[in-house]
Amino acid sequence: MSTRVLPALESHGIVNAARVNWNLNAPALYEEVARRREGLIAADGALVCRTGHHTGRSASDKFIVREKSSEDRIWWGKVNRGIDEAHFDEVHRMLLRYLQGKELFVQDCHACADPRYRYPVRVITEYAWHSLFIRNMLLPVDAAADPDEHKPALTIIDAPRFHADPERHGTRSEVFILVHFAKGLVLIGGTSYAGEIKKSVFTVLNYLLPSRGVLPMHCSANIGAGGDVALFFGLSGTGKTTLSSDPERRLIGDDEHGWSEFGVFNFEGGCYAKLIRLSPEAEPEIYSTTRRFGTVLENVSIDVATRQLDLEDDSLTENTRGAYPLSFIDNYVRSGQGGHPSNIILLTADAFGVLPPISRLSPTAARYHFLSGYTAKVAGTEKGVTEPTATFSTCFGAPFLPLHPTVYSRALGEMMARHQVTAWLVNTGWTGGPYGIGSRMPIAYTRAMVRAALSGALDTVAYDTDPIFNVLVPSSCPGVPSQLLRPRTTWPNDAAYDEQARRLARMFIENFKTFDDQAVPEVKAAGPRDV
């Protein structure tokens, strides 16, 4: 931190703060966390913090302010709920009053690794560990830079201990994530889950960048020795972070990227990996980060006496997380940029056990499955889930899409056509039967299939069209038993497979009715068939 007088926060309406900690680095923030008793330092150096009651995002508590500049562009509905400006202003006023007398932490950062699209962000929070979290996740300003020179286009005020009054403020509960596009301001309160900060930045970029000719994407990205870029789309639990962290390829980024006329670029400077039951054998790069000074671990079990971690323990949540800088991965791309992708991998964890483990998609099928965003929850992961449950999150990121999904789908189709990109659907879920009967696809086989797709080894093999799911299934794949490639042959009963496959196909068809009014007929026809 600079020794000169730092700017105050009056420009953000914050007055009378007890103390403002500006752009503290990791060692200084560790000291503050320890002083304030916000977390524990693990034996190998990581910082372990608890998020309390909220161990994941509060999607139903996120609102977009209805205002003239953006209202006609927003995809209003279940995902994007509106709140009027009067309620937003009242929450803002009370929040500013609450922050008086508080010790605050400020991080000045940027989103977007490509300097042509760099987006200045300022995060003001009452937790030291939240300040370290966002310092890890975004691109911090140069330590020698003058804070007065940082002009944030987006300001996030994060006050976990401030709670809304639903009757007074028009919120659903005491938790709120309020996004005001015209003011470039996000207010967060009532939840200590740090991921709300990160995803608020992503939401704003998803709104702004399409108008600049950039496709924002909820995906990871890596690059091969020959410069070939691959994108990995997938919801939580599908293996997106694991598969993109490949020691044979360099990591561009873990979770959020833009695709412009110049190529792919990371929105962030860090990774936010799911850690539950992380394996040092299968995921050595990510596992090593849990033993690093500077990593922030959320809700990971720790022995308070020995300070040893237990990554197997899900007693607090299945959604244990680690936030660390990309530089903690040995083979990362320092610039955060790459060329145009050669391959796109759409990941799903099919708990019904019927989708092929890998299949090639036509350009229209790629748009269909991108719009569908399918995966499945399994029994026990959520209260009340007793059997596999289909989950469809359009564009693999519905909660963060302010615009209609077809805006992003059309852009994907145009970019794929322009740059001759091959798309693949990879099922990291179950084989030999559904969850509870079959078994999870071994990660070694999934890695072999992905490597074969990216290397071109699947370019010359024969393909058959799956009669139900309407995708192209390769006849063979190096390093993978051929019987695994056709899930019907792995089931003990053909009729049971057929019934389950038709059931899932009907779920796809029913879900896609959401897009009937805007999706072109060719895309709709590229999906599963009700046979």
Q: Which of 175, 197, 212 is the endpoint of a domain? A: 212
The verdict on 31 and 145 lying in the same domain is yes
The band of 242, judged by pLDDT with boundaries at 50, 70 and 90, is confident
- Choose the catalytic residue: 108, 246, 255, 466: 255
The verdict on 373 and 519 lying in the same domain is yes
Judge whether 358 and 453 are in contact, CB under 8 Å.
yes
The predicted pLDDT at position 81 comes to 97
| Active site annotation includes 409 | no
| Active site annotation includes 62 | no
| Active site annotation includes 57 | yes
| Active site annotation includes 317 | no
Q: Is the pLDDT of residue 381 over 90?
A: no
| Active site annotation includes 236 | yes
- Choose the catalytic residue: 150, 240, 250, 451: 240
Residue 4 burial by Cβ neighbours in a 10 Å radius (0-12, 13-18, 19+): exposed
The verdict on 323 and 348 lying in the same domain is no
Number of domains in the chain: 3
- Choose the catalytic residue: 198, 199, 257, 410: 199
| Active site annotation includes 81 | no
* 345 phi, psi to nearest 5 deg: -110, 120
Examine residue 232 and state whether it is found in any structural domain, yes or no. Answer: no
The predicted pLDDT at position 85 comes to 97
CATH number at residue 304: 2.170.8.10
- Choose the catalytic residue: 51, 131, 192, 241: 241
- Choose the catalytic residue: 57, 180, 198, 249: 57
- Choose the catalytic residue: 236, 288, 301, 455: 236
The verdict on 418 and 449 lying in the same domain is yes
Q: Is the pLDDT of residue 379 over 60?
A: no
- Choose the catalytic residue: 122, 321, 360, 410: 321
- Choose the catalytic residue: 62, 87, 150, 218: 218
The predicted pLDDT at position 245 comes to 85
- pLDDT more than 90, % of the chain: 89
Residue 374's DSSP bridge partners are 392
DSSP string, 460-507: SS-EEE-TTT--EEES-BTTB-GGGGSHHHHSS-HHHHHHHHHHHHHH
For residue 376, the one-letter residue type is: A
The predicted pLDDT at position 377 comes to 79
Q: Which of 194, 212, 230 is the endpoint of a domain? A: 212
The predicted pLDDT at position 237 comes to 83
CATH number at residue 398: 3.90.228.20
The verdict on 184 and 310 lying in the same domain is no
Q: Region 273-300: what's the mean pLDDT?
A: 94
* 518 phi, psi to nearest 5 deg: -125, -20
Q: pLDDT of 394-440, one tens digit each?
A: 999 999 999 999 999 999 999 999 999 999 999 999 999 999 999 99
DSSP state of 77: T
Q: Region 367-373: what's the mean pLDDT?
A: 97
